[in-house]
Amino acid sequence: MRCIRSSTGPSIVFVMALSLPWSSPALAHVEQGQAAGFLIGLQHPWSGFDHVLAMIAVGLWGAQLGAPAMWLLPVTFPMVMAFGGMLGLMGVKLPGIEIGIALSAVMLGVMVLAEARPKLMLAASLVSFFAVFHGHAHGTELPPGQNGLLYSMGFVIATGFLHGLGILLGLLHRWPAGKLALRSAGAFIAVMGVTFLWGALK
| Binding interface with other proteins (CB under 8 A) | 71, 74-76, 78-79, 81-83, 85-91, 139, 148-153, 155-157, 159-160
- Least distance to other proteins, CB of residue 36, Å: 15
Amino acid at 29: H
- Least distance to other proteins, CB of residue 52, Å: 18
Closer residue to other proteins in complex, CB, 64/76: 76
Query: Which spans in the chain are helix H?
Result: 2-19, 32-43, 49-65, 69-90, 97-114, 120-140, 148-170, 176-201
Closer residue to other proteins in complex, CB, 88/193: 88
- Least distance to other proteins, CB of residue 51, Å: 15
- Least distance to other proteins, CB of residue 107, Å: 22
Q: Which of 192, 177, 172, 196 is closest to 64 using CA atoms?
A: 172
DSSP 1-24: -HHHHHHHHHHHHHHHHHHGGGPP
Q: What is the DSSP letter of 181?
A: H
Closer residue to other proteins in complex, CB, 103/156: 156
Closer residue to other proteins in complex, CB, 150/192: 150
- Least distance to other proteins, CB of residue 159, Å: 8
d(CA 43, CA 32): 16
Contact indicator for 134, 51 with CB cutoff of 8 Å? yes
Closer residue to other proteins in complex, CB, 45/109: 45
- Least distance to other proteins, CB of residue 90, Å: 5
Distances (CA, A) of 44 to 36, 58, 85, 115, 185: 12, 18, 13, 29, 23
Closer residue to other proteins in complex, CB, 61/155: 155
Q: Which of 163, 188, 141, 190 is closest to 40 using CA atoms?
A: 141
